[in-house]
Amino acid sequence: MKPVKVGILGLGTVGGGTVHILQRNAEEIARRAGRGIVVTHACAKEIKKQVEFSTDDIVLTQQLNDVVTDPEIDVIVELLGGTTLAREMTLLAIENGKHVVTANKALIGTHGNEIFKAAQEKGVMVAFEAAVAGGIPIIKVTREGLAANKINWLAGIINGTSNFILTEMRDKGSEFNDVLKEAQDLGYAEANPEFDIEGIDAAHKLTILASLSFGIPLQYDKVYVEGITKITPKDVQYADELGYRIKHLGIAKRTEKGIEMRVHPTFVPHKRLLANVDGVMNAVLVNGDMVGNTLHYGAGAGALPTGSAIVADLVDVVRALTTDPGNRVPHLAFQPNTLSDIPILSIDEVETAYYLRMNVLDKLGVLAQVTNILSQNNISIEAVLQKEPRDEHAEIVLLTHTVLEKQVNVAIQAIEQLGGIEGSVTRMRLETL
């Protein structure tokens, strides 16, 4: 049988990794797919060769349309990044009857509903394994592997850059800004590091995982997003002292009131496997009602891990080429006409435990006033730490039991009004997982 022809948009780190894998493992991939898979066309402004590959048999162009509309090409691999041109080219590829494989989490997170609808109408596939957690097949896990389960919740370290920064802050006691610079020098951070450190990249990925897990449309605008920029070495140290690690988590949870979708720094007990995922590595913990907890760990970025996910998608697409489009695995795991409009909860409605840190004047009764406010708001205390006072100032650190975020906000406001409190209260959410 003739090989399947692939046109690739972008030959940077991930594009190069994809071509490398298709060339190096060509025989194994053909045995799996039932046909060869070859990149015949590529649109690239510049070719980055982080890994070895040959462009001898690839028609190179600078015009995206040349690739996307070429009748010879069966599948387009979209690696443009961003959402404007990527959306335009993906929809054009679909219009031209081509299947699309993409690594673009922002594109799927924000325009996925429109793209999947267009693909369904045209009877083509759009695959996006590489969009979440790089080389970890977490899309396949939530969409297919756990299909027997009602997924209750998932929690993931899904941004390697943030995880690298938090790991370095803990290991070396460094300040956030110094480690960010190191992450940029090492090439981990996205071109715009804001996407990593402000939690946007993780929110795009969480949007996708929540849809696959709960059968809801993609709703990026409803994710609560908080990054890691305000974490201080002090918080990292207190977490340690209390038996926790600070991890930047994406959490999606089904509750009786609706779905929680939130991305924020989180205290995690140090004994949990997730708390021990360090450096740029990613991991996602998924809880299904039948299977219990499953943990998926691996490289979340890089030429070969991300290329591995793209090639796996290509193999899937090739295997399903001759199937009836109605019988293929649905893009969002659930049949499109069964997606649920279950409400997404605002962060005020979320229930979790908290770490609170405040600077106080070392005066009689300040701690009593703080604990009084907490008890008035039905907030039960799990642990208290007071550092030796210095120059009539002291620091109080508290861990609470689970409580509604709305109630914690009321309590924090009241605490900040107290005469003995200096500045604002630092707050971080805590999950026992």
d(CA 338, CA 335): 5
- Binding to ligand HSE in span 95-154, by CB under 6 A: 134
Instruction: Compare residues 201 and 226 and give the one whose CB is closer to ligand HSE.
Output: 201
The single-letter code of the amino acid at 182 is E
Strand 259-269 and strand 244-254: pairing?
antiparallel
HEC string for 368-421:
HHHHHHHHHCCCCEEEEEECCCECCEEEEEEEECCEEHHHHHHHHHHHHHCCCE
Residue 160 engages ligand HSE in binding (rule: CB under 6 A): yes
Pick one of 78, 129, 201, 431: the residue that binds ligand HSE (CB under 6 A). 201
Place of tokens 């297919």: 144
Give me the least distance between CB of 166 and ligand HSE, in Å please.
12
Using CB under 6 A, which of the segments 156-164, 247-255, 332-340, 406-414 binds ligand HSE?
156-164
Residue 190 engages ligand HSE in binding (rule: CB under 6 A): yes
d(CA 104, CA 15): 12
For residue 293, count other CB atoms closer than 10 A to its CB. Answer: 14
Place of tokens 């861990």: 399
List 205, 222, 247, 363, catalytic entry? 205
Element (H, E) at 20: helix 13-24
Pick one of 301, 303, 314, 339: the residue that binds ligand HSE (CB under 6 A). 301
- Binding to ligand HSE in span 25-64, by CB under 6 A: none
Tokens in use for 242? 């209390």
Q: Write each residue from 259 to 298 as x if it is in contact with ligand HSE (CB under 6 A), else as -, in one continuous string.
A: ----------------------------------------
Number of residues binding to ligand HSE, judged by CB under 6 A: 10
User: Is 205 annotated as catalytic?
Assistant: yes
Among 397, 393, 373, smallest CA distance to 384 is for 397
Pick one of 13, 40, 102, 159: the residue that binds ligand HSE (CB under 6 A). 159
Instruction: Compare residues 9 and 379 and give the one whose CB is closer to ligand HSE.
Output: 9
Q: Enumerate binding residues for ligand HSE (CB under 6 A).
A: 134, 159-161, 188, 190, 196, 201, 300-301
Please list the active-site residues.
Answer: 205
